[in-house]
């Protein structure tokens, strides 16, 4: 399929899906591919790409932080009011330690303060897990 590079580029835009692009394709090409065949052709083209970029992340050396996607609506339990919130995510490199929290505003705290808070919670959570594992091991040994 000759339009694969353009499809690949369009899929990077927020809210764009293969179904949406196929519907646009079918509006122009009435006798064109069906959805499943169109997706199959695109996926086989995509499989030939090599999008990997290896990066070494020694465990615990870096904290990766960002806001995840669009805002989400949160219901205030006491008033029932819908409020917009942003999802802040922090991940400790080369680990399974992840921290996510909702903030009503990206400007409520600076990203540095949010990252520091995330790191404190991840480290204290890791320390608590290690302490619990040690307690469990000592209980099993006695």
Neighbours of 92 (CB within 10 A): 21
Compute the average pLDDT of residues 133-141: 46
* Spatial CA neighbour of 90 closest among 102, 103, 99, 81: 99
Annotated domain spans of the chain: 4-47, 63-141
pTM of the model: 0.47
pLDDT tens per residue, range 43-84: 999 999 887 777 777 777 788 888 887 888 989 888 999 988
pLDDT tens per residue, range 82-116: 988 888 888 887 777 888 888 776 555 566 676 77
Compute the average pLDDT of residues 11-20: 92
């Amino acid at each position: 399929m000759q339009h694969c590079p353009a499809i690949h580029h369009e899929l990077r835009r927020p809210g764009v899906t293969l179904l949406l692009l196929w519907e646009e394709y079918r509006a122009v090409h009435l006798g064109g591919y069906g959805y499943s065949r169109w997706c199959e052709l695109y996926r086989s083209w995509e499989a030939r790409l090599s999008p990997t970029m290896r990066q070494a992340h020694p465990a615990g050396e870096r904290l990766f932080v960002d806001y995840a996607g669009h805002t989400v609506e949160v219901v205030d339990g006491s008033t029932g009011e819908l409020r917009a919130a942003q999802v802040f995510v922090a991940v400790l490199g080369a680990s399974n330690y992840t921290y996510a929290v909702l903030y009503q505003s990206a400007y409520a705290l600076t990203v540095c303060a949010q990252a520091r808070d995330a790191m404190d919670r991840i480290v204290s959570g890791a320390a608590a897990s290690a302490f619990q594992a040690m307690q469990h091991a000592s209980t099993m040994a006695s």
